[in-house]
Amino acid sequence: MQDSMPHITVLHAPDEGPPPGLDQLRGEAHITLADNEEALAAAVPETEILLVTDFRTPLLRKAWSEARRLRWMHATSAGVDALLFPENRDSDIPITNARGVFDHAIAETVLGMMLMFAKDFLGSLALKREARWQHRDTERLSGKRLLVVGAGSIGREIARLAGLMDMRVEGIARRARPADADFAAIHPQGELHEHLAHADYVVVAAPLTPETEGLFDERAFAAMRPHARFINIGRGAIVRTEALVAALREERLAGAGLDVFEQEPLPPEHPLWAMPQVFMSAHMAGDFLGWREALIEQFVENFRRWQAGEPLRNVVDKTRGYVTGEHG
């Protein structure tokens, strides 16, 4: 019967519009779109499933007291930190995420950044703008040491691609794990500074949790080698930006590739824009052509599992902020 169909509310950003592909659920669910506080407040009392495509949204907490029928939440992002306010974290409502959709695309971006630094593409672009012909020798990735902070599904795919370039890859996770096919070793987070001292490249691929917030501060950058390059495709708040800027200015760090920032968008007057040894992109490391459709395909598959009474995939451990077994 029509009235027995579940109610899905899609919470999306006003500037992005609703995600494509939801029309395939026509006849299987009532779907309501909400892109502001008023629309969400009107929809949430009847909502049984909440599909969140705006990973920065603060709106759900404001409407939480009225979400009495909510039975499941799905985030179309790997990080779910914006959804883990205390009332939600302490509830028994499951949260699933988009683990797996962005892994390979993000790993490609990281590999591209490392090649960019090794082959000095930034320098070549600067010389091209000046119409200067200047031969230089460049580095190889082969034999370099890569430390991936966050040994989950994204970190593992980064490690796999880096291994194909003959890099030595080690990881940092919540706890140590036995070595495996992708990582030469996985160390506990408490040993981060010790292993930063040996890395040529450091990549942040961790989720934002209370344990990782501000993890890369002045002490962490002081532990790194002056020739090392730092790449962040995790979350901006894992890095203290002022400490990173100081390390780059004082040449205690050779370069940085940044896709995420403490403040987004990054203000045009921020000093990172003018640093020639810094590459930046606008929180887009995993956004390949067709990613929006892929996210909805993943949600629809999980929705049909939910309807059939089967276990949901990608269930987040709300005490840790990620899918257990994936980030250590």
CA 235 – CA 63 distance, rounded (Å): 25
Alpha helices in 68-179 (DSSP H): 86-89, 103-118, 121-129, 153-164
Per DSSP, the three-state class of 229 is strand
β-pair type (316-317, 322-323):
antiparallel
Going by the DSSP 8-state scheme, the letter that residue 8 receives in this structure is E
- Fold exhibited by the domain 103-280: Rossmann fold (3.40.50)
Contacts 24+ apart (CB under 8 A), 42-50: 43/9, 44/9, 44/70, 45/69, 46/7, 47/7, 47/8, 47/9, 48/6, 48/7, 48/8, 48/72, 49/6, 49/7, 49/8, 49/9, 49/73, 49/74, 49/303, 49/306, 50/8, 50/9, 50/11, 50/74
Joined together, the tokens standing for residue 23 give 């029309």
Distance CA 96, CA 269 (A): 37
pLDDT tens, residue by residue, 284-324: 999 999 999 999 999 999 999 999 999 999 999 999 999 97
Indicate the CATH number for domain 2-101+289-323: 3.40.50.720
Evaluate whether 118 touches 139 at the Cβ level (below 8 Å): yes
Instruction: Name 11's bridge partners.
Output: 34, 52
Residue 193 tokens read as 């500074």
What pLDDT, on the 0 to 100 scale, is given for residue 3?
65
Instruction: Please give the backbone phi and psi of residue 266, each rounded to the nearest 5 degrees, phi first.
Output: -70, 130
CB-count burial class (<10 Å; 0-12, 13-18, 19+) for 186: buried
Angle, CA 6 vertex, CA 57 and CA 85 arms, to 5°: 25
Provide the pLDDT confidence category of residue 4 given band limits of 50, 70 and 90.
Answer: confident
Dihedral in degrees, nearest 10, Cα atoms 86, 88, 91, 95: -130
List, by residue range, all CATH 3.40.50.720 domains of the chain.
2-101+289-323, 103-280
pTM of the predicted model, to two decimals?
0.93
Predicted confidence (pLDDT) per residue in 33-83, tens digit: 999 999 999 999 999 999 999 988 999 999 999 999 999 999 999 889 999
Nearest to 148 by CA among 133, 136, 161, 132: 161
User: Is the CB of residue 168 less than 8 Å from the CB of residue 218?
Assistant: no
* Distance (Å, whole) CA 236 – CA 207: 10
Q: Are 282 and 265 in contact (CB under 8 A)?
A: yes
Per residue in 76-131, pLDDT (tens digit) is 998 899 999 999 999 999 999 999 999 999 999 999 999 999 999 999 999 999 99
> What pLDDT, in 10s, does the model give residues 152-180?
999 999 999 999 999 999 999 999 998 78
- Kindly indicate the confidence band of residue 328, based on its pLDDT and cuts at 50, 70 and 90: very low
